[in-house]
A and B are shown apart, each in its own frame.
Chain A
Amino acid sequence: MARHWQAGAAGLAVLGLTLTACGGAKVGDSSSAGSGSSGKCGTFNLAVNPWVGYEADAAVVAYVAQHNLGCTVTKKNLKEQIAWQGFGTGEVDAVLENWGHADLVKKYIDGQKTAVDAGQTGNKGLIGWYVPPWLAKAHPDILQWKNLNKYASQFKTSESSGKGQLLDGDPSYVTNDAALVKNLKLNFKVVYAGSEAALITAFRDAEKNKKWVIGYFYEPQWFLSEVPLKKVSLPAYKTGCDTDAAKVACDYPIYNLNKIVSAKFAKSGSPAYDLVKNFNWTNDDQNEVAKYIAQDKLSDDAAAKKWVEANKDKVDAWIK
């Protein structure tokens, strides 16, 4: 029995060696092409914050850095707080889409001086309250905040203790909603859905089944190309109307989304830094790539390739 098995093993070994002889491409034979251009760029550590719009930014920047500049790009999937923390420890070089985050600016740019602003991305960030399109169509006056109380009872849910429900999303969102509801004397209660997925599911369901939902949302966002939510206008934003968080009674400002890089990276002279600094595109650009990723289910790399090849002029402007 044992001998039999040993013979079998030996046979397999021989078979293996035979396969070796006749067989297939060897590791390293043709690999020189892939990892060839290890130029002056070196490693570029790019934080990827968890929303699809950011993923689109990161996909394109990483693609360009890798293929046009020959950088080794390391993408790091991190939430904002940890990504900023990474500037200090030297593990993150750049954050590509920053939404305000005054506290982080204070801590890392003004305080520790480990991070610096690298200019705007060209994207305009819009935050506000949105309703599904069917609702905006059926009750056009709902898009004025003054009429919200009229419909409050329609927005009641099991969670809102008798008032209308205003759905908020991921805890990392910049939000004044609780104060707004109070200061605008709305008969609503803020319910914390807790994640972007929860928020999107709620809107998707609302549009499909004609349900009453009002909630926090933002642009640019890939979901808007699936369900074009309508924004409710709040009292117009004036500079300084949101300085006291407890007394806010105005709309959110339009955020000029910007890029943050680590202080060290800014001084490194890496071509990747210049790329990040020059990177600039429109909301439509981002939405296009985000759509490739979220709806067409392309990989990040494939989505970036598709866009880069179609927008050579824009890319050339970034790398000059």
Chain B
Amino acid sequence: MTPTQTEVPQRRGTPQDSDGTPVISVRNLWKVFGPKADRVPESEELCGLSRRELMDRTGCTAAVRDVNFEVAPGEVFVVMGLSGSGKSTLVRCLTRLIEPTSGEVVFEGQDIRQADDKRLRDLRRRKFSMVFQHFGLLPHRRVVDNVAFGLEIRGMSKAERTKRALEVVELVGLAGYENSYPDQLSGGMQQRVGLARALAGDPDVLFFDEPFSALDPLIRRDMQNEVIRLHHEVGKTMVFITHDLSEALKLGDRILIMRDGKMVQCGTGDELVGAPADDYVREFVKDVPRGDVLTLKWIMRAPEDGDDLDGPELGPDVVVKEATRVVLAADKPVKVVENGKLLGIVGDEEILAVVAGQEGGA
């Protein structure tokens, strides 16, 4: 099961200031729980064992096994997997809330694993922040004091941090609730407080650990839109953990799928749907409305003799759903053109196959 790594593609509608260097690079990261956990990543034999065999042989559980990826500046990077796949452990390893067993997590050119306590605290105070599934708010503090908590820990003066906290409270749409206590708020609003707390310190990277799983579907959708809006406004790099594929597809520039601690596939949404790496991913994306995700490049075919090549032109990254009307309205196949070069054509048949859901997978 070799992971399929795809090049970092251009992202949809996100502000970009990419100079090519990733914000975070993760290399050969392992996290093993259990007695003498160190020996597992070191031994080739043990590395090869399945989770069950490893448990029986050593009493250890490998929650994260040999994971590699990079997160580009301004990107929303989603890690997705079912419960027990190791995704929450992975995100905690990135800020060493859980100490990784081996591997590297490079941030600003330094391996975070080598950082001493002071440096690590400094990173957590200024560069990273995290939003938790169960909020992790302080029930004995008002909203504004919860939001200011990170700043307080940094040692910022009370007046200053309150001012900043009020700004952020406003930003996440909680104006008017500054003086409420967390248990007086609904779940969605509590998570806005969590979000505000994370934003207050103006970090470089935001980590989200299944932040919306505990919320009702409608509120969850609101919050997802909120994250998209904030991403537009503040343009932070985000690492987002979820078990919900539609959430992953909605938010993620790229998605990493994990299973049993290993990465299965990493790529954009349309890559996962268009070219699943294995049956596991295929099963996963089976119910995704393909027309919403796939782009023309995934369904185009090479022009054959007899095709009319004077139809309308569209780019390869146009989503099928958006192209449907054009393709169906045209009486000739649509040309898929990138930089003046003809890549292929898309006709009614291809479109209908996707939209009607007949295509049984690539």
A and B touching (Cβ–Cβ under 8 A): no
Chain A interfacial positions (CB closer than 8 Å to B): none
